[in-house]
Chain A
Amino acid sequence: MPIQRIAPETVARLAKLARLGLSEKESEKIGHDLGTILKHFEELKKIDTEGITPMIGAADAKNMMRSDDEDLETPEGGGLLRERILEAFPDRAGDSLKVQKIL
């Protein structure tokens, strides 16, 4: 089978979009793997999907509304749970996430 690979500049563009820094070796391997996998997807072109509704989920999605109450049992709530979630941040200042200046 001829080697199918996607172009290095495409790999670079995707990596930028996905916020991934790839080594040259990683880029080459991913370019090759994606090429092979995308080639496999070509078979879908043969299937007639004219007029078919796309399936976006496996359950009948219904919008759910919650009452506007304080709920300490959820991550949105306060108390101990809130503090535990804050503790899990890699870097914090008080109750805020600490990040580099963006302006």
Chain B
Amino acid sequence: MKPCEMTIAKFHESLTSREFSAIEALKETYRQIDAKNKEIGAYLSLAKNGAERAAEAVDERIARGERVSLMSGVPVGIKDNLLLEGEPCTAGSKILEGYVAAYDATAVAKLKAEGAVMVGKTNMDEFGMGSSTENSAFGKTRNPRDVSKVPGGSSGGSAAAVAANMAIAALGSDTGGSIRQPADFCGVVGLKPTYGAVSRYGLIPLASSLDTVGIEAKTVDDAAILFGAISGKDPHDATSVEKTYGKELYESHPERIRAMTIGLPKEYFGTGISKEIGERMEGVIAAFKGMDIRFKEVSLPHTSSALSVYYIIMPAEASANLARFDGIRYGKGGEGSADIGKRYVAARSRGFGEEAKRRIMLGTYVLSSGYYDAYYAKAQKVRTLIANDFKAAFEEVDALLTPVSPTLPFAFGEKTNDPLAMYLSDIFTITANLAGVPALVVPPGFQLIGKPFHEHDLLGLGREYERKMAS
């Protein structure tokens, strides 16, 4: 078994019993990347020097007989909107071509502190704007399970890297489903934490009230280990929350899990899902029922408004966040313009892709004088109603089970000419971001949504499901 085919626990066991060294594991990871990345396109850049130094440091500690933490030497991919010191960070956009990160994102720094090895930066839709990774300015990522299909997005590179054994796990970000939908499409585990559970410091922002940093992994246990490592209050992010998770993340008591009630929101099981997804969900429900877990139908009555609310709030915040890319602090191309106004326009027009321009324009529209109350203020109020729906549902049930994407992975180009059709592929994932609640995707592709800061409930349910399927 190659190191990147292992779970973290297995990797740790092999490393500490000296079946391989961290540097050998890293070299094997780069051999896999050399062999596969040309076709899959998961990585945009590789961080070979830093990765080698980190792996050597792990090997030195082992050679000295020191105990090393569980994540030591584990090869991890980093989505290219998270800063990795000394490495390029493009967020999939031409406007950041040539930009080199000056410091580490907090989530990255925390993984480094655990001894994990940052292999490289993974491809993504520009600034996280997309559901197929086709909006990257730097080329396609293909779905390792079927290279004629998209990997999902926007964390398509991270999910594909994990699925193709070019990393054991990867960091991603999720503003409306950007970790979960690629996890679904590529057949891996994806965790979008509660808003505030993981620091956003060093994440290039898309929509600040919706953005979360999370994980693509091979197993629920691996996702739990990474989440335990990256979560926690950070003085550099005022919206990060004082909440400490303990061993409940890593071990679940089957009796406690089996005493849970799962809610099935009726609005998520209507006519909007394809036959294949409907059948898949029936199988998942039957498996949970086989564990004696109870189900209850619940209602989230404002679900049908979520897409409109999301596509008002997200572009509004994005248009404000992307104002920083002005050709002066970031983004070449405007130098030599006649005046500063022309410089802004030159750098931004050259640097942003079609979807980024569309969302900046949409965000500018909904925030502009005369439209603000009708769109942005209205959307914020309906967002309250959507969050209230979840609060009411969680009075009755412990977690919700839903599909992730309404369809199976689609082909390249299938939705690129129809933005609304692309936006509709996020319909089941955006609500968790609007409400700020955690959600977990587990193969073959279902979503569990939980109470705020109850990631352990979702991980416990996911773990029991994995065990049941493996038995």
Contact = CB atoms under 8 A, between A and B. Distances in A.
A81 B345 contact: no
Interface size class of A (residues with CB under 8 A): 35 or more
Interface in A87-103: 87-91, 97, 99-102
Interface in A4-39: 6, 10-11, 14-15, 17-22, 26, 29-30, 33-34, 36-38
Nearest to A19: B344
Given A19-B326, A61-B239, A100 B343 contact: yes
A47 B420 contact: no
B361 A18 contact: yes
B436 interface: yes
A3 interface: no
B331 interface: yes
A61 B241 CA distance: 9
A98 to B, nearest CB: 8
A42 to B, nearest CB: 8
A6 B338 CA distance: 31
Given A11-B361, A41-B375, A52-B381, A90 B102 contact: no
Interface string B276-301: 00000000000000000000000000
A22 B349 contact: yes
A88 B102 contact: yes
Majority secondary structure, B binding face:
helix
A1 to B, nearest CB: 11
A9 to B, nearest CB: 13
A53 B383 CA distance: 10
Nearest to B378: A44
A49 B378 contact: yes
Given A19-B344, A41-B308, A90 B331 contact: yes
Nearest to A46: B305
A40 B307 contact: yes
Contact of A88 (B99, B361, B383): B99
A59 B419 CA distance: 30
Interface string B380-394: 111111010000000
12 contacts: A19-B345, A21-B348, A33-B358, A34-B358, A34-B365, A38-B365, A44-B312, A49-B382, A58-B210, A63-B238, A81-B103, A99-B340
